[in-house]
Structure 1
């Protein structure tokens, strides 16, 4: 946002700030790091044969940006007071996009530890939610914006076919640990690594589960940690985010030599310093899967 006061400047604190917005009576949140600006609705230019949730495009200071109707994407009713609607200009996966929501209320600073994993009780929304926050005797849901955008434009996600440009790959016996909260991306990442020859992968849904597993191995002895040669972690994850996970790994005597690659939609020139500060060995922006494979090659082959 243009006036982002009090935004977290520290790295590895396991905290985040979220912008709360609403769709009807439902409360949602988006990581403030993704938000560039909050706008009043602007005239939208329709485009031929769009996805049903894509309203069209608008121009913002020289950039042509797609507009996504979040209510439509989630299967909710349209706004009853469109004059009060808001546009959230966001940037992630190195792409700018506008999310059309009904209201924007406030910013909350919270710990990832207080964010619960979504359960099946959310009536079909669980695949579109990355976390649940109990707030003011109500629930605030963190949307999986990467999946929402990928549903509209599949090219923005990871694809195993991209590995073909690397040519013939040999099967590797090296083992990789993955921390990724999105079930969709866990599956795609595992499939893509397998296509690239890295067939021995173990996945965890968040940084805490991954770190607890590593600590169990470390308690057995340093030799047990040789089960893995590299860690891939997302940043945004319930219970423990990727920056805090990386920080803990790099501070642990028996873990610190293990390469950690942060693979996230939040990797930008402005935010790379956060990963550098916690000791990440490399940082790759989603969905640059070829770059990720080449980085893995350079660290463990």
Structure 2
């Protein structure tokens, strides 16, 4: 266990080539869950937690870690399970999502496994809209569940998707009636956040649940029009997605003649560990950390119709 805890911070540099590492953990059952190591700052045994009035019921308390005050979310409660009672044996995964740092309370932390996004699949159909799964994978013939952390965080503190009044009044997008915005993101919450923010601009929007689905659909559109930019103004893509990540999707677009001129905005919760070299390598036009509606809309205005 100590070896895993000591190695997490040293292994957060893996990016690209459709590969990832998952830190496996358990809640109040035998089921194993995974979180991308790239999101993890460190793992530690649960420190003393301070209860505060009016905390969300999913937040077990506040921890003071390395000079920073961090909310600690009971991940078992967050997915509809029983609360984690024995904090003396529990662990906290410190992770950064959407420009903020959170602590995820879990029962145990196990090992780090190396895999690729092709092995990460969308959750089974029929899991329901209330499902907190964003993806699943199989490791040693065992199903590993990957949680939609953005949904959990949005349940605790809903994201404001409205554009500021000043920006909404001045925002103008060329050719908005002729072209669409294409959004690729595996999180239903993230897709809806982007859609709501940009729909106020009168833009037509098409959605895909992962990079592979997006690539296939973009090729279909290009086959119909001859040139993708005749129909699609800009692609907004998450980086972490089942089957094909955003880096690989961008690289495939740049290597496909009928798609290569499409403007690509990488839109991700991987804030604080942004790899500029990788974004430049795959040829993305812009990078925006989730979720800042004004910044996203401004980037769309910059690239939309700018062929």
TM-score normalised by the chain length of structure 2 = 0.88
How far is the alpha carbon of 1:119 from its aligned partner? 2.4
1:203 alignment partner in structure 2: 207
Question: Following TM superposition, by how much is the alpha carbon of 1:273 offset from its aligned partner in structure 2, in angstroms?
Answer: 2.9
CA distance in 2, matches of 1:229, 1:5: 39
Does the 8 Å CA contact 2:227/2:259 hold for their aligned counterparts?
no
In structure 1, stretches of 5+ residues that fail to align are none
- Partners of 1:2 and 1:279 in 2: CA distance: 34
Aligned residues: 295
Partners of 2:68 and 2:154 lie apart in 1 by: 21
Q: 1:60 aligns with which of 46, 59, 65?
A: 65
CA pair 263-295 structure 1, distance change in 2 beyond 3 A: same
Against the structure 1 CA distance between its residues 76 and 125, is the aligned structure 2 distance closer, same or farther, given a 3 Å change threshold? farther
The DSSP-based 3-state class of the residue aligned with 1:49 is coil
> RMSD over aligned Cα, in angstroms?
2.2
TM-score, normalized by length of structure 1? 0.90
> Hey, what does 1:129 align to over in structure 2?
133
Counterparts of 2:271 and 2:260, CA distance in 1: 22
Deviation, structure 1 residue 225? 4.8
Q: What is residue 246 of structure 1 aligned with on the other side?
A: 250
Check whether the contact 2:27–2:76 (CA below 8 A) recurs between aligned residues: yes
- Is the Cα contact below 8 Å between 1:54 and 1:69 reproduced in 2? yes
* 1:291 equivalent in structure 2: 295
2:283 equivalent to 1:279: yes
Asked if 1:167 is matched to 2:171, the reply is no
Q: Tell whether 2:88 aligns with 1:83.
A: yes
- Does structure 1 residue 39 correspond to structure 2 residue 44? yes
Offset from partner CA, 1:101-146 (integer Å, 9 cap, x none)? 0000011111111112112554x58631110112223211001111
Match of 1:228 in 2: 232
**What is the aligned partner in structure 1 of residue 198 from structure 2?**
193
Structure 2 gaps of 5+ residues are none
